[in-house]
Amino acid sequence: METPEGIAPEIRVPIDPRGHERMRHLQQDRGRAAESDEQLAIETARDGVSRKEPDVRHTRSVSLIRSFGFAFDGVSYLLRTQRNARIELAIGVVVMVVAAWVRVTPAEWAVLALTVAIVLALEALNTALELVVTLASPERHPLAKAAKDVSAAMVLIAAVGSVLVGIAIFRPYFR
């Protein structure tokens, strides 16, 4: 597609993963980005329940329970399929047992619990990103590899940081 010199060709990018053909116009228009003019469609809830019905509270609680179910399904998937997550969880349990044994302070408990939670949460995020990248790019691609490597790097950084936190907290108890 040829365009007059100095004018960028129109680029359209799909923004709805469900297959709708909403497109974003990225070309400058009247001195401002066309992106700022875009209106996002707001879809109503698809559960078929009117928010004006008297039992809406019940519907929300069921939805909340289902949300927890999905979260527990995610934890189950993570622990079933990811060896590193199981190792990190085991190390976290050992750290908590040792913390109880040496009677760390409440502030140290908080730091240890948060550190273990961060490592496990980043492992879950790493797994999710790897799954999405694999889904989006099933064939080998340098950018897919880089995305997976960076995702794994964030877990490594957190794990190294957690070791440093553990040393800082437990060192005085084992002198």
Which residues have a catalytic role annotated?
123
Distance, in Å, from the CA atom of 168 to the CA atom of 170, rounded to the nearest integer, reads 6
SS3 category, 11: coil
Best CA proximity match to 17, nearest among 111, 132, 128: 132
Distance, in Å, from the CA atom of 130 to the CA atom of 81, rounded to the nearest integer, reads 13
Is-contact 126 94, C-beta < 8 A?
no
